[in-house]
Structure 1
């Protein structure tokens, strides 16, 4: 029989946020300390991830914090014509303070404050939780501008995001603020069903992991949000069971090769650093359908 109405309702509820809020407030104060070696640089601190997007569920642990260097920016010029690229290059001026220097300073400062709890990783700086402080990932990055036009007269059309570099020099681009803004718009356009449904699918994933139905890591929260972002707005709503069934059936039948990430800057499915392997998405949906039918 299908998952009960009551179970779906429980899964739709946000997880607790008190410890998360306290952790973020403390970490933001530390990162913004006037005594830090980078304090006089131009930077911004903000959240990304489930807590930022109000899709957190019980069991979500990490606080995802972004520290973005704003005194320089990187570019994606792939959408410009040769003339537009030449025009941009003629107007650019190189920065003097590097992202690598900024990251080293942030690691140094966090290590001074949190000692051995700080573990720099390939992408983010992990800070182990202690007492009431939750685990946190601090992503040090720079501004990114993806130019779609660069006219001789008037303002360019540009999407703003972030980027960082892996140890092998690979640049990873993403657009967390666009992701968050678009998810909020989707939520409003679905009469507050979108984030509600994201939490249901995330709790279903967690349950299937606990029951060893799917592997941990098969369906990251970011990609669940992106997958559901592609569901047409009229499919959301009704009873809890109707909403879940209509959304799941549409996802199973859709041409998922055309799905976009919620930031609308990348396709959702693929094999890059910022996309979800199509086979993982398919495995998750097949497992979700089987769980729905056999619950």
Structure 2
């Protein structure tokens, strides 16, 4: 069997250290939850997400992703409600006086007061630089997001609960980290625990291609790579890593209609152009061609 040797894939499959990320998470969480925070007393929770939260972090991956979520207010997607239900929803709820804009400013203030001027207000997240006892951290200040399926009153409503936040351009980004984590864990179990090591292999392959200048950085974010492997048929996994990767790549190559693939949270399609929550189709095609070439030329 050709392709990338099993020994290399075994190395790539290993999970990176979690001790440093756990310590970082606890330190930043403690800061965000201080009694002096302007939002103290509101319904706020701090969550670890991203690669460390989903056990797909690789060796050498250092950034820790944290979400601080305000649940006292929310934004909604009402597109699936009929006119009568939408009217009922708007009559039931009023606009919040403390929303995402105010909350993000307060979170930024708390982090700068604790960690200094090195804290940067980024496009989507607030960047906290590393120190001796803390890894680099991206903190997303988010509020609750509700995607409604039904609203006939407060006692008869149905929605998927996620989070949302805004980038600097004012684009709303809605996501569902709880569903993502739960679905990835279930799929991992269904695959006899092959899924997450395979995600780490794919991520390490991406890193090698970027380092070798065979793939542009940013083409294949980890979130979308997790979504890609989430859609792979269970029969792709097993026997050994070489066989599993070969089957995954063959599945990617053979699939004629990938438009029905979904993100791991199952709230969005994985491949679409023009959506912040989807992987641009051209970027996926570039990644697919690059990793197949990596396999063939090894």
User: What interval of TM-score do these two structures reach, taking the shorter chain for normalisation?
Assistant: over 0.9
Equivalent-residue separation in structure 2 for 1:187 and 1:18 (angstroms): 22
Q: Secondary structure at the match of 1:146?
A: strand
Q: Displacement, 1:245? A: 0.6
Equivalent-residue separation in structure 2 for 1:171 and 1:235 (angstroms): 36
Q: Displacement, 1:16? A: 1.0
TM normalised by structure 1 equals 0.96
1:288 aligns with 2:291: yes
Tell me which residue corresponds to 1:222. Answer: 223
Equivalent-residue separation in structure 1 for 2:234 and 2:8 (angstroms): 23
Q: Displacement, 1:152? A: 5.5
Partner of residue 270 from structure 2, selected from 252, 268, 271: 268
Q: Displacement, 1:167? A: 2.9
Check whether the contact 2:49–2:66 (CA below 8 A) recurs between aligned residues: yes
Q: Deviations over 1:85-136 (max 9, x none)?
A: 1221221132222221111111111111111220011211001111231110
Aligned residues: 295
1:182-261, aligned counterparts within 5 Å? 182-254=183-255, 255-261=257-263
Tell me which residue corresponds to 1:159. Answer: 160
Equivalent-residue separation in structure 1 for 2:27 and 2:140 (angstroms): 16
Equivalent-residue separation in structure 1 for 2:215 and 2:126 (angstroms): 28
Equivalent-residue separation in structure 1 for 2:106 and 2:251 (angstroms): 48
Equivalent-residue separation in structure 1 for 2:139 and 2:240 (angstroms): 39
Tell me which residue corresponds to 2:96. Answer: 95
Q: Which runs of 4+ in 1 moved over 6 A?
A: none
Equivalent-residue separation in structure 1 for 2:71 and 2:104 (angstroms): 13
Label 1:153 to 1:144 Cα distance change in 2 as closer, same or farther (>3 A).
closer
1:1-295, aligned counterparts within 5 Å? 1-151=2-152, 155-254=156-255, 255-270=257-272, 271-295=274-298
Q: Displacement, 1:234? A: 2.1
Q: Displacement, 1:154? A: 5.7
Check whether the contact 2:127–2:139 (CA below 8 A) recurs between aligned residues: yes
Runs of 5+ unmatched residues, structure 1? none
Runs of 5+ unmatched residues, structure 2? none
Check whether the contact 2:80–2:148 (CA below 8 A) recurs between aligned residues: yes
Q: Deviations over 1:211-244 (max 9, x none)?
A: 1111111111000001111111222112221111
Equivalent-residue separation in structure 1 for 2:172 and 2:240 (angstroms): 44
Q: Displacement, 1:278? A: 0.7
Check whether the contact 2:46–2:69 (CA below 8 A) recurs between aligned residues: yes
**RMSD of aligned residue pairs (Cα, Å):** 1.4
Equivalent-residue separation in structure 2 for 1:215 and 1:152 (angstroms): 49
Equivalent-residue separation in structure 1 for 2:253 and 2:231 (angstroms): 12
Equivalent-residue separation in structure 2 for 1:202 and 1:118 (angstroms): 28
Label 1:13 to 1:153 Cα distance change in 2 as closer, same or farther (>3 A).
same
TM normalised by structure 2 equals 0.95
Q: Secondary structure at the match of 2:285?
A: helix
Q: Displacement, 1:153? A: 8.9
Q: Displacement, 1:14? A: 0.3
Q: Displacement, 1:201? A: 0.3
